[in-house]
Amino acid sequence: MLLAITAFLLAARAARAQSVDIYSEFQRPDPFGGIVAPDRALAPREILSPALARGAHAIFHIAVSVPPKESYLLYVIPNPLDACLVALYKEHFEHTAAGWIPDRLEELHRLPDFGVMPDPDDHVEGQNTRVYLLDLWMPPQAPVGRFRLEVQLKMGDWVVRPMELRVVEARMPALPSGAAPPLPPVEKGADAVALGAMADYAAGIPVVAAETTASVRALIRRGTAQDMALAASLPAAIAGPVALERLEFDLLRANLAFGPRILGAEWYLRVRDFLYRQK
């Protein structure tokens, strides 16, 4: 009996030592199992059943935490396998005045990905978490409905994080390619990218799809450009520049009522939710 109890406790301890967590694009994980300071929220969004628009990309951070000097395998599996297109990037950390922040992206062309802790490429002392960016693409003619996606971590035992993805009615207009405006500094909150996209929309600057996947900020910009194109396709009284500025002001005012911000950088997700509901 004592041996059985000891084996159970050791297994439970090992399970706690390894984890895989999924975050929205506006909650960038740090290399120590937390969220970078500029993005933190009192009430972060739990990623269980996110909405996906058709003809659009959706991105999420995957944070893999394992003990030092351990290795693992990471899988991403949609069910059915052809439910969406999947791209996975390894995020590289940059040392800033606000701490270590993931930004530069390295696309992975083969899964599962084999990783070790700490990451030999980034040289972060005390690192216990590696971060990936999951990029999902829904074709324009995808049927409305739900499908399952699993992020699976293998290190001795399996740790599985499932998501039920909701394909909604909203369909993104096609965006012309072009040179996008400069991105904000990496140490700014992830919502700084969204603020820039909304400011451009309010100023009447044409929305373009910049052809780059070089950084987390670039992919956030791509997503917010999609949203502004969707807004421009809706009646002005609902989602024109004046209407969106009013919504933005209300969200920012509520967000700043507490410290740290109650929604953190994720306040912008309320804008996206609003736009998706109009279709």
Q: Summarize pLDDT for 188-239 with one digit per residue, the tens.
A: 999 999 999 999 999 998 888 777 789 999 999 999 999 999 999 999 999 9
* pLDDT higher than 70, residue 17: yes
The fold of the 2-171 domain, in CATH, is Immunoglobulin-like (2.60.40)
Phi-psi region of 219 (alpha: psi -120 to 50; beta: other; left: phi over 0): alpha
Tokens of 4: 């059985």
Q: What confidence score (pLDDT) does residue 74 get?
A: 97
Q: Where are the domains of the chain?
A: 2-171, 191-277
Residue 248, pLDDT > 50, answer: yes
Whose CA is closest to 84, among 58, 109, 50?
Answer: 58
pLDDT grade for 175, boundaries at 50, 70 and 90: confident
Q: Tell me: the pLDDT tens digits for 192-204?
A: 999 999 999 999 9
Q: What is the mean pLDDT of residues 95-121?
A: 95
